[in-house]
Amino acid sequence: MREFAVTDPSPRAAVVASLSSTLSRAVALGDEVAARVVHEAIGMLVGLPVTPEG
């Protein structure tokens, strides 16, 4: 079995992961407005160009 190297996520990836959790929670609670806002925020972050970290 192969093992994959574990790397720290980029700051943006960490934020998107956190927002994904928030989106799931909003959907589970039936908060359509919050889900829509979080979904839009995720889309905006994913659409940004990748910048070098440093």
Give me the number of domains the chain comprises.
1
Q: Please count the other Cβ atoms lying within 10 Å of the Cβ belonging to residue 23.
A: 18
Expressed as residue numbers, the domain containing 24 is 11-47
Predicted pLDDT at 16: 94
Residue 41 included in any domain: yes
Residue 1 included in any domain: no
How far lies 9's CA from each of 6, 34, 37, in Å? 9, 25, 23
Q: pTM of the entire structure?
A: 0.72
Residue 6 included in any domain: no
Residue 1 confidence class, pLDDT cut points 50, 70, 90: low
Residue 5 included in any domain: no
Residue 29 included in any domain: yes
Residue 15 included in any domain: yes
Residue 31 included in any domain: yes
Residue 30 included in any domain: yes
Max Cα–Cα distance, the chain, nearest Å = 44
Give the tens place of pLDDT for each residue, 3-48. Answer: 766 677 788 999 999 999 999 999 999 999 999 999 999 999 998 8
